[in-house]
Structure 1
Amino acid sequence: METVLHDDMSNLLDLLPPLTQLTRYCTVGEITEVLHQLKADLVTVRRKFEVWDAQSALQQGLIGTAGADTLKQLHDELNRIELERFIAAGSVSNLHRSCTRYRDLLAERALQIVTEEMAAAGYGAPPVSYALVSMGSDGREEQTLITDQDYLIVYDDGGEEAADAWFVEFGNRLVDCLEIAGFKRCTGDIMTSNPTWRGSYKQWRKRLFAIVRYEVEDFAKNMMDLIVLSDARFVGGDRELGGKLIELIRDMEKEHFQVLWSMARAATEMKLALGFMRRLWTEPSGEHRGELNVKLLAWAPLVMNVRILAISQGMAATNTVQRINYLEQEGSFSEEMARGLREAYDTLTHHRILLQIKQIKGIQKDSYYLDPLMLDSGEREQLRQAVIRVEELQKMIHTNFNIV
């Protein structure tokens, strides 16, 4: 918690002008008065963050013994705390870290609740060990204020049909429990109730081999599934088993270049919110005329293209900023490009979170569309530069993978 508080305070202090500039316009007495007031304000702000830290710690401490209905209340309160903290400090990384931490706790508690319910209902204990693995923003440890379910289950071999049947019931109940706890059902059906996202290790291995060897009928859909799996991260259950599946996914993606090439082509073909003369492109007509979809036309292409390079280098990290850092360290990115991509990620994610806040507060219907004219000129240019950075990344991957 202390690290979060320090980072938040640093963000606030970064907004202040250098004192050397103040002496050009103010007397020593005026500066002294301002500094005293500033000190008092910082003390007030620090206390506010300390209160949020204490409240968050209290709520998280209650998760381990809470029932399913209570989990929703705790989840809502933790979201409220992070919303207020973000409005005050605007730290994307701190929001990611906090939301990911307490949602992992909520998911682990859901596993315990469902396991106990299964035993009480006569299904018995899990017939074999299993692991819950997250994907999407949760897998990348990039959780924000609005979330849905992006989980898979892998269970150990040896249980045969009895294990399959047990985990069908377990997967269905887990989805229900998570929904009660405040995790929306995934519109893409990436949930443990879907047999595509549930299976023994042997079944998962067979499924993955079928994709990378082009043995499946709907290759496009299965390719998207493989892309989703690229962000897999262990959440609960048997850590060794979860890690074993994740390692298998990484190895298959890296070793089958044609599959990786197909993923790279899809990434470089993602449309961006750039129009003529690299100006921001907005919807020309319809309900969202004059607006742009920040997620679809800027943020998602950035995450996707960084992911492709990380996979090609065999990196275990799933977090986008960590991937950028590692790609800089191993030489794929220059210092300037890495810095630009980190700034682009922060800018685009910051706007996405602000849009989520507007949706939560009922100001707008969704958290995707942004009207650039609602920003000041500096913010618009910052947004435009962020999208340009993504375009440059796409061009780099297009060249590296010899995509024609």
Structure 2
Amino acid sequence: MVRIFPPVALKILLSVASFLFFPGLALADASAPSPFRQALPGYAYSFPRDFGSHDDFRVEWWYYTGNLEEMDGSRAFGYQLTFFRVALEGAEKAVNPSRWKADPIYFAHLALSDLGGGSFHFFERINRKGLGLAGAEPDRLRVWNEDWTLDARGDKHVLKAREAGYGLDLELTPLKQPAFHGEDGVSRKGREPGNASHYFSFTRMQTQGTILIDGKEHKIRGTSWMDREFSSSEMDARQVGWDWFSIKLNDGREVMLYQLRLKDGGTEPFSSGSLVLEDGSVRHLALEDFTIVPTGRWTSKHTGTEYPSGWELSLKNPKVRLTVEPDLKDQELYNLRSISGTYWEGSVSVTGEYDGSPVAGKGYVELVGYGKALQPVLPE
């Protein structure tokens, strides 16, 4: 259940979360110097430190998706569990001692795709740090939003979340070293210096545990993908949204691609991706190295939003051609309070060729900004 904030706190929360997903909704005077650190070259990653919170950056997230099946292979599932932290003021300004202070804000999204049952279920949590209802440790992997939790157990990531008869209890083991995206883990998102994020992933994680669907527990196995990003930049005013792909191929390679869409119908030149090889080494992919072509459309019965549905992905070198199809058309998260908006995030299946050899795979796709330009309805 989503907790109800006092009107002022809710107004702040919706404004902050809209900053994450919708351009042009600035939180402060853009001409004022930012109290937050920018994602710039030269950052030295350190673990387990960089699993923890980064209070000198404005926003960060711990993002997990996975493609799962029952132990006998009889039923398939997908999941997303993401924890967000959003700060309103820089650490040096955080002098309000009140436990009710709405800074930082933590919110979380849980989504379960029951592919065998043909259904999709999603939930969210919104809380502040001050009351201890949500938070993240600064130097290790531990994040929580009430009883939705992310913890480390040795080298394993342990995810737990449950809501209204649905949930998950999963143990994830990385099978490769972290993959650093962009240039040395700095992923550019626009023209200005600092318009970027520090971005790394565990692109293949052995997964076991249980999924809860309509009150029934299913013992599962499969693979997951973890994204870790922290940043202080806003979307460029020219940008309206993005398409993001994470693909785990059955030959041991992984592909991450994202394209930022512009208002004029073009693509942001700083869109990019990564090809992760079997040994965990990473090849950076610039926009000119790949293409993303939609092959179909789907219109939501919930919101009327039209999304691309099905894609042809191509890499130039190595020569890769992949056909990506949603495992379930309706995997839309809508009427969310935490972002005052809608997005599509879902499990996909992949077939194609890699340098002339057939490949297949599973993955996830995220589509943001396809609805009308959303402004939060804020209580006075």
Q: TM-score, normalised by structure 1?
A: 0.27
Q: Which has the higher helix share?
A: 1
Structure number with higher relative contact order (C-alpha < 8 Å, ≥ 6 residues apart): 2
Select the structure of larger CA radius of gyration: 1
Q: Which has the higher strand share?
A: 2
